Amino acid sequence: MLVVVSDTHSTDGHRLTSRTLDAVRDADLVVHAGDFMRESVLDAFIDEAAQFLAVYGNNDGPEIRARIPEARNFTYGGVEFAMTHTRRGGGTALSLFGRERGADAVIFGHSHRPVFDGTAAIPLLNPGSHAQPRGNRQAHAELETLPGGGLRGRLVTVDGDVFETFRIVPGGN
């Protein structure tokens, strides 16, 4: 399973609890779309995850920026992802970012609002924030491989309630 988190905004650890903590510990791969706030928070995620990839966010300082990139690509379940914290210009800019990087889908953070947009030129996934939801649900995303290719995904609250399901397939939805 791939677990996607973002926008931790912590000064004292990963702030993972309940279903989100279990998902991170059980995942094959955990990705974080930025805004850790402290280098120790980044290290706490690395300690919890079997495999971990991240990008930095607008609130991450030079010590974090020296360790992880602003944007990156990775593949999971045959799906090529482009990941960044944010892009000025919203969905259009994020879709362009994904196309420029040859991605099947884009993962981003920043808004703290968990959302999957399958209507965009390239599917867009924001897991929201498990720690600082700013008026939204505390959430993360979980994605599992499908027989025959692609991923089945869900947005999940910290308490384990699934509130949206989706699919991502290589080459488009």
Q: What is the pLDDT of residue 173?
A: 55
Q: Are strands 162-168 and 151-157 parallel, antiparallel or unpaired?
A: antiparallel
Residue 99's SS3 state is helix
Q: Domains in the chain, start-ordered, CATH in brackets?
A: 2-168 (3.60.21.10)
CA–CA distance from 46 to each of 41, 82, 107, 128 (Å)? 9, 20, 19, 19
- Token pair in block for residue 66: 């020296």
Burial readout 95-120 (b: 16 or more C-beta within 10 A, e: otherwise): bebbeebebbbbbbbbbbbbbbeeeb
* Alpha helices for the chain (secondary structure H): 18-26, 39-48, 62-65, 90-100
Residue 90's SS3 state is helix
φ, ψ of residue 12 to 5 degrees: the values are: -140, 40
Q: What is the pLDDT of residue 89?
A: 82
Determine the Cα–Cα distance for residues 130 and 19; give it in Å rounded to an integer.
10
pTM here is 0.97
Positions of the chain with pLDDT under 50: none
DSSP-derived letter for residue 151 is E
| pLDDT, tens digit (0-9, with 9 covering 90-100), for 137-155 | 999 999 999 998 999 999 9
State the DSSP string of 33-61.
-S---SHHHHHHHHHH-SSEEE---TT--
